[in-house]
């Protein structure tokens, strides 16, 4: 069974750096085709794709946020970490990690974590 | 442009067919996936690669795509299908993924 779970601080102050961890099970990021992405949703707003890392360690970032984001993986711990610098109130929302297998029959974000809420406030 | 456009809302009566459109310049060359988001819950994949349905998704959910438009169809919509629906597709370069603005489906 594939599961993902996000964890993070819950509350960060403006200008601080946010670090989120996605811990997953049921698959390995060493496996060809496997990817993990981060997606967020501000309150009352649309889903927004942030970043993705693949099995080879290649990284992809949202054009609008790439200067603030870093995605990395620790395959030994089955974790993917997202850092976002210079946090602002507009970054408040729910942050999800999701799996994608680009060589599988289902090439889509097929399994999602429950999400973690992030509030940016002083 | 790197955008996916959806209508803000669609409303149908129970048992009717709901159709949610998604338009984008890159869609003739890129597959579209659809996600259902219910209040307070994580997104759920309901259609992938334009027309395919994941296991466990009811047959009343179907997808189609033609040119710059993709459509999610819910045949015989139920109250349980209420929620927000998002289309998603890679951008034209395939280096990032896009989500549409979301469509709120009301069944009443």
Q: Which residue in A39, A83, A93 sits closest to B100, CA to CA?
A: A39
Q: Would you report the helix, strand and coil content of chain B in percent, each value rounded to 5?
A: 5, 45, 50
CB B88 within 8 A of CB B35: yes
Confidence of residue B1 (pLDDT cuts 50, 70, 90): low
Between B1 and B83, whose confidence is greater?
B83
Nearest to B99 among A47, A52, A114 (CB): A47
% of chain A residues with pLDDT over 90 = 94
Query: A46 and B102: CB-CB below 8 Å?
Result: yes
Return d(Cα A59, Cα B69) in angstroms, integer.
Answer: 29
Question: Is B42's Cβ below 8 Å from some Cβ in A?
Answer: yes
Torsion of CA B22, B65, A39, A62, to 10 degrees: -80
Rounded average pLDDT over A53-60: 96
The token pair at A12 is 């960060």
- DSSP for residue B54: -
C-alpha R_g of chain A: 14
Whether B37 contacts chain A with CB within 8 A: yes
Other Cβ atoms within 10 Å of B85 Cβ, number: 25
Using CA atoms, how far apart are residues B71 and B19, in angstroms rounded to an integer? 6
Are the C-beta atoms of residues A93 and A43 closer than 8 Å to each other?
Answer: yes
Contact of B25 with B91, CB cutoff 8 Å? no
Nearest CA in chain B to A113: B42
> Which residues in chain B touch residue A61, judged by CB atoms under 8 angstroms apart?
96
- The β-bridge relationship of strands B97-99 and B83-90 is antiparallel
Tell me the pLDDT of chain A averaged across its residues: 96
Query: Token match 């996936």: residue?
Result: B33
Contact indicator for B47, B58 with CB cutoff of 8 Å: no
pLDDT at A107: 83
- Separation between Cα atoms, residue B17 and residue B19, nearest integer Å: 7
Per-residue pLDDT, A93: 98
Does A108 contact B101 at a Cβ distance shorter than 8 Å? Answer: no
Q: Report pLDDT digits (tens) over B42-52.
A: 999 999 999 99
């Amino acid at each position: 069974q594939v599961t993902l779970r996000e964890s993070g601080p819950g509350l960060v102050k403006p200008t601080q750096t946010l670090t989120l961890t996605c811990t997953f099970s049921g698959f390995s990021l060493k496996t060809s085709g496997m990817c993990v992405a981060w997606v967020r949703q501000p309150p009352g707003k649309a889903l927004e794709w942030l970043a993705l890392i693949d099995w080879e360690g290649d990284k992809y970032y949202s054009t609008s946020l790439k200067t603030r984001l870093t995605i990395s993986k620790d395959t030994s711990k089955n974790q993917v970490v997202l850092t976002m610098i210079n946090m602002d109130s507009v970054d408040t929302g729910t942050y999800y990690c999701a799996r994608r297998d680009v060589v599988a029959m289902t090439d889509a974000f097929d399994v999602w974590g429950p999400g973690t809420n992030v509030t940016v406030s002083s | 442009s790197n955008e996916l456009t959806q209508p803000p809302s669609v409303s149908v009566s129970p048992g009717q067919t709901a159709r949610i459109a998604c338009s984008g310049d890159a869609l003739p060359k890129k597959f579209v996936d659809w996600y259902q988001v219910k209040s307070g819950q994580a997104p759920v994949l309901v259609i992938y690669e334009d027309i395919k349905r994941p296991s466990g998704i009811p047959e009343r959910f179907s997808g189609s795509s033609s040119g710059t438009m993709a459509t999610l169809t819910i045949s015989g919509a139920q109250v349980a299908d209420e929620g927000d629906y998002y289309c998603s597709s890679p951008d034209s370069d395939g280096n990032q993924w896009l989500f549409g603005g979301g469509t709120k489906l009301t069944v009443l």
